[in-house]
Amino acid sequence: MNLEPDHHVFDLGDQTALVCVPASPCQKSIAAQLVALDYKVHLGLFEEDVLLKLATCNYNVVIIDENFKEAGADENVILREMVKSSGALRREHFVVLLSQRFATNDATSAFVMSVDQIINFGDLANFKPVLRRGVAMHQDLYRPFLETIKVVQAL
């Protein structure tokens, strides 16, 4: 299984994911579980690389380590950039914060951090089912809204 970002070309209709986790066994585990869920995966190597990828590609799922490149959650440039993006653009991404501080699926902390879901590093063995459930709930929540937007735009 080759997970190198340069080898993945996205086609229309592909499920896509961006993993902003330092190179480690955690990164490999997350990428492998995303591939098992039929996502095409790009790995964020450093902040500028991630920001360029976010500007040029619409990812379905964005996984962000709260301490990406040793920045604290409050100084995390990638997380701040996701929060600053427009509402329409932001709704296209399902943003997951990987945390050592917060519990998995802590909705209050997810709201405070402006992400869709939190997954604790201790739960990485369950990453695939937790993510699958979170994405399904997110799609159910936004489906009526997105369908309404399509109808209005067609008028």
Beta-carbon contacts of 149 under 8 Å, excluding residues fewer than 6 positions away, are: none
- 20 touches 65 (CB < 8 A): yes
User: Which segments of the chain are extended strands (E)?
Assistant: 15-20, 39-43, 61-65, 94-99, 117-120
DSSP string covering 85-123, please? S-HHHHHT-EEEEEESSSPTT-HHHHHHHT-SEEEEGGG
Whole-number pLDDT of residue 7: 42
By residue count, the chain amounts to: 155
CATH numbers and ranges of domains, the chain: 13-154 (3.40.50.2300)
Q: What is the pLDDT of residue 54?
A: 87
Q: Supply the pLDDT for residue 90.
A: 65
Q: What one-letter code names the amino acid at 29?
A: S
Per-residue model confidence (pLDDT) at position 88: 61
Which of 25, 135, 26, 20 shows the shortest CA–CA distance to 66?
20
94-99 β-sheet, strand order? 39-43, 15-20, 61-65, 94-99, 117-120
User: Looking at residue 5, what is its pLDDT?
Assistant: 46
Residue in the block written with tokens 């993510």: 131
List the pLDDT tens digit at each of the 155 positions of the chain.
445 444 456 777 789 999 999 888 999 999 999 999 999 999 988 888 898 888 888 899 999 999 887 666 567 888 888 777 666 666 678 999 999 999 999 999 999 988 999 999 999 999 999 999 999 998 888 888 878 888 888 88
CA–CA distance, 153 with 135 (Å, rounded to integer) = 25
Q: What is the pLDDT of residue 151?
A: 87
